[in-house]
Structure 1
Amino acid sequence: MVSIDLVIENAEGEILLGLRNNRPAQGFWFVQGGRVQRGESLDAAFERVSREELGLAISRGDARLLGAYDHLYEEDVFGAGIGTHYVALGHYLRLEVGLASLPMAQHRDYRWWHPDAMRASGEVHANSRAYLDAVGDLHFTRGA
């Protein structure tokens, strides 16, 4: 399956994570994202995922592609035990988002995380931590 992940960074350099309600990665802190649906263009999927996950319809052109990542899970969204392989297209956005206004369908809590805290925490899923190097590279190339 193909998915779009949104790596949202605020002005303080913290990354927005949500505590996942659903499989896979249920109970972990994770970046926002969602599957690309059959027949859906990447642009349409990006706008839908950003609207569902952030309450904002954002254009894919406003984000920076971090790359394609393999997300392998032993579990699947339905709990059938067959495992799941996502090709996640990680996208970076610098954005200020109010936590209280975020949708609760996929996440039961939200928090801004400093990258060092993300790296150190076993509560943050490894697939979310994997984006940190690419975000750091963006800072280096921008001189930020």
Structure 2
Amino acid sequence: MTTDERWIEGEAWETIVANVPLVSVDLIVRHDGGVVLGKRTNEPAKGEWFVPGGVVFKNESLTDAVHRVARDELGCDVTIVESLGAFEHFFDTSEVDGVETKHYLANAFVVDPDTEEFTSDDQHAGLRVFEPPFDELHPYVLRYLDAASDSLN
């Protein structure tokens, strides 16, 4: 998880995850004719190749959240190419003990990184560039890639 002092932990986080949708940003990172995905080490979607992303903090703009997530999860800065709008994600798992589901209102952005090299964070077992066809990816990732198809060509 993040070390940002705005991060909520413990019982407060459990209450939030159990009761409200989380506003987040997800990044469709264009790179070498494909997209950069991370293999998740935590729920939801543990073990899946998924787009980098994270919750939006109170009083943080979506744009600022995009840049923070890129720095935290990829070790780089990015240029925003396109906003794809909001996507609703319902997961049957959560990283919080006793909370069986997680609900996100994810704001998706197509971005270009400012580097050729990425640094993975502790939420990912590694990063990899995936090129078309994108057949075996998580359904939510496929929805993003479909929505971003004009920006990926």
Measured against the shorter chain, the TM-score band is 0.7 to 0.9
Q: Distance in 2 between matches of 1:58 and 1:4?
A: 13
Residue pair 2:27, 2:53 contacting (<8 A) in 1 also:
yes
- Deviations 1:83-115 (CA, angstroms, capped at 9, x unpaired): 11101111001337545x412311111111113
Unpaired segments of 5 or more residues in structure 2?
Answer: 1-21
Q: What amino acid does structure 1 have at the position aligned with 2:124?
A: H
Counterpart pick for 1:38 among 35, 58, 61: 58
- 2:111 alignment counterpart: 93
Listed as ranges, the matches of 1:1-144 within 5 Å are 1-12=22-33, 14-58=34-78, 62-95=80-113, 97-98=115-116, 101-116=118-133, 118-119=134-135, 121=136, 124-138=137-151, 144=153
Q: Identity over aligned residues, as a percent?
A: 33
Q: Distance in 2 between matches of 1:24 and 1:54?
A: 19
For the residue of structure 2 that corresponds to 1:115, the secondary structure is coil
Unpaired segments of 5 or more residues in structure 1?
Answer: none
Q: Which structure is higher in helix share?
A: 1
Residue pair 1:2, 1:87 contacting (<8 A) in 2 also:
yes
Residue pair 2:78, 2:113 contacting (<8 A) in 1 also:
no
Structure 1 vs Structure 2 CA RMSD: 2.0
CA offset at residue 46 of structure 1? 1.9
